[in-house]
């Protein structure tokens, strides 16, 4: 049974809250490192996205329609919002730290 209306809105708000809190926590922890080299952190994030891209592409190539629909509707939307909300939360966490 696909989710619609109120159920989707509640999941969206919950996911947005969790990713925002995750960003604040990451920013707070990273603000404690005085000798943090930004290029190394960005390199690690880039490697994570490479690995995630491989997983997503390997699942999209599969023949199962359910898996394709899951990745197109849920994973892609979640990643787009996470890429926006986590850095904004990290900036807020840095302000707290």
* pLDDT per residue as tens digits for the range 42-85: 888 888 888 888 877 776 666 777 877 777 777 778 888 888 88
Domain residue ranges in the chain:
6-96
Q: What is the pTM of this model?
A: 0.64
User: What sign for the dihedral angle of Cα 15, 62, 68, 56?
Assistant: positive
Residue 61 is predicted with a pLDDT of 66
Q: Which helix (H) or strand (E) holds 89?
A: helix 76-96
Residue 60 is predicted with a pLDDT of 63
């Amino acid at each position: 049974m696909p989710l619609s209306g109120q159920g989707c809105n509640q999941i969206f708000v919950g996911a947005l809250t969790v990713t925002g809190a995750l960003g604040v926590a990451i920013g707070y922890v990273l603000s404690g490192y005085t000798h943090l080299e930004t290029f190394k952190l960005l390199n690690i994030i880039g490697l994570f996205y490479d690995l995630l891209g491989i997983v997503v592409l390997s699942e999209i190539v599969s023949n199962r329609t359910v898996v394709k629909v899951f990745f197109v509707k849920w994973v892609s939307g979640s990643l787009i919002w996470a890429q926006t909300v986590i850095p904004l939360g990290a900036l807020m966490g840095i302000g707290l730290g």
